[in-house]
Structure 1
Amino acid sequence: MTKERPFPKAQMHGDLVELFPGIHFVTGSVTLGGPLPVRFSRNMTVVRQDDDLTIINSVRLSEPGLKALESLGKVRHVIRIASFHGMDDPFYKDRYGATVWSVDAPYFSGFDSTGEPYFTPDRVVDGNSDLPLKNARLTLLSSATPCEGLLLIEREGGIVVAGDCLQNWATTNRYFNLPARLMMRLLGFIKPHNVGPGWLKAAKPDPGEIRKVMAEIDFDHVLPAHGDPVRGNAKQLYAPVVAAL
């Protein structure tokens, strides 16, 4: 069963930017509540095929942002590769009738894995699934709990769209509030070409599996859910931190 809840509101975000032909990227934000709310950046990738759009790592956009998105094509699919993401998937399904594809992990609020999920995807995917994108495949980090995926688009030398696993927060930006700037630097999040420290702690993946997966995938670029895009030489840039796990 699922538990309905209001759609989270749109938060601060930038403009959609075309990084590669037909592949757009937008930086937005998310706020974690509590006595001292923490706001930091997160990213969405949009892939255009003909007139159809597929969203990966969904971020709800403002109405002007949605108009810009709609100018690119029709939102047909949403792919959830990161189990701690997905809060805006129901919004895109409701607004556009998009099909939601997700790794096999319940939609729980935040890091709370108790109670009823708030949403059920249309399709559950794994490494053998046919995706709605041409020349794309999903590789699972199945030792992580909940599981995580890396989506490889076999173009431009290989483009990996990552969730919480591969991050690239070389510095904080305008989407961070002061508590986030201080806390996330202290906890080791603000580093270039990083494996997400919060994800490592929460999901407890097998480092050997991460090394194996990274060795088997050929890629030049990473479009992370957190941090700046890595355009060129990405596999080599992430190699030291992966080797040190």
Structure 2
Amino acid sequence: MFEYSPAWPHGTLQAAFTDVFFVVGTNRTHHAGVDIQTSRTMTVVREDGALTLLNTVRLDDEGLRALEALGQVRHVVRLGAFHGRDDPFYCDRYGATLWALPEATHADGRAADRALAEGGPSPVRGGEVFVFNSARFPEAAVLLARDGGILITCDAIQHWTHVDRFFSAECGAMFEAQGLIRPANIPSTWRGACAPDVADFHRLLALPFRHLISAHGEPLRDEAHARVAASVAEAFPA
């Protein structure tokens, strides 16, 4: 029987841009015989009192009160194949609509309510869905057409600039040694699992964005496009 993940330690909801918020919390998992504890980031977009949650992180009671003070949770968006463990909690608590790529499988076996697709509808007005078509496991991003363009990603582009307080000491040291703590990073772990083609990133760089909010790390303001372009050149040398 499926059980919700607990509310692990997390920070406070913070404003990133007008009506765009983020919160950084803990993620714990076990992979290849290793216990892994890192941080993960949820993005919250508010429109006319309705909230859309992307890359969900379960909040404790105090955090939920702060979330509910922002508005009513209406939509939950699953962007990455390796995330989504807290989607059922928010969908059940608030009756939210779950959006995901058609190929995604969900933690509790439910089906998504709405499909994400390039050129298709978005839960956020003016939101543009981008799909990493070549990735072995389903991965998407959403571009918000505001503030010069805000790109919201999951695992394909991460932005850990330092080992934050939600990492375990062992995992922080391991991730630093593996080169995973760096800005606008296209992580070797995700590339190894998903084998993406550089063409997807060229298409992504054709989109107009200045800022980045990833499921890993804090927002990257103003320099996102240039930093992602540099990361693409490094990850996919000609």
TM-score (norm 1): 0.91
- Indicate conservation of the 8 Å contact 1:44/1:58, yes or no: yes
- Indicate conservation of the 8 Å contact 1:101/1:121, yes or no: yes
Equivalent of 2:217 in 196, 203, 227: 227
Residues 25-34 or 77-86, more deviating: 25-34
Aligned to 2:25: 28
Deviation, structure 1 residue 44:
0.3
Equivalent of 2:59 in 58, 61, 68: 61
Partner Cα distance (1:31, 1:107) in 2: 19
Distance 1:183 1:99, change over 3 A: same
Name the count of aligned residue pairs: 234
Look up the SS of the partner of 1:195 in the other structure.
Answer: coil
Amino acid at match of 2:18: P
Equivalent of 2:173 in 171, 179, 182: 182
Amino acid at match of 1:83: A
- Per-residue displacement from partner, 1:203-230 (whole Å, max 9, x unpaired)? 11112322x2232111000001101210
Equivalent of 2:142 in 117, 130, 151: 151
Equivalent of 2:42 in 28, 41, 44: 44
- Indicate conservation of the 8 Å contact 1:86/1:107, yes or no: no
Amino acid at match of 1:128: G
Equivalent of 1:134 in 122, 125, 133: 125
Partner Cα distance (2:81, 2:197) in 1: 16
Equivalent of 1:124 in 115, 125, 132: 115
- Indicate conservation of the 8 Å contact 1:16/1:26, yes or no: yes
Equivalent of 1:86 in 60, 63, 84: 84
User: What runs of 5+ residues in structure 2 fail to find an aligned partner?
Assistant: none
Amino acid at match of 1:137: E
Look up the SS of the partner of 1:37 in the other structure.
Answer: strand
Aligned to 2:4: 7
Aligned to 1:191: 182
Partner Cα distance (2:195, 2:139) in 1: 11
- Indicate conservation of the 8 Å contact 1:11/1:60, yes or no: yes
Aligned to 2:204: 214
Partner Cα distance (1:187, 1:104) in 2: 32
Aligned to 1:18: 15
- Indicate conservation of the 8 Å contact 2:134/2:197, yes or no: yes
User: What runs of 5+ residues in structure 1 fail to find an aligned partner?
Assistant: 110-116
- Per-residue displacement from partner, 1:68-124 (whole Å, max 9, x unpaired)? 000000000001111111111111011000000001233266xxxxxxx63321112
Partner Cα distance (1:177, 1:188) in 2: 16
RMSD: 1.5
Q: Does 1:163 align with 2:148?
A: no
- Indicate conservation of the 8 Å contact 1:79/1:100, yes or no: yes
Amino acid at match of 2:4: F
- Indicate conservation of the 8 Å contact 2:38/2:166, yes or no: yes
Partner Cα distance (1:132, 1:170) in 2: 29
Deviation, structure 1 residue 170:
1.3
Amino acid at match of 1:54: T
| Sequence identity (%) | 36
- Indicate conservation of the 8 Å contact 2:84/2:106, yes or no: no
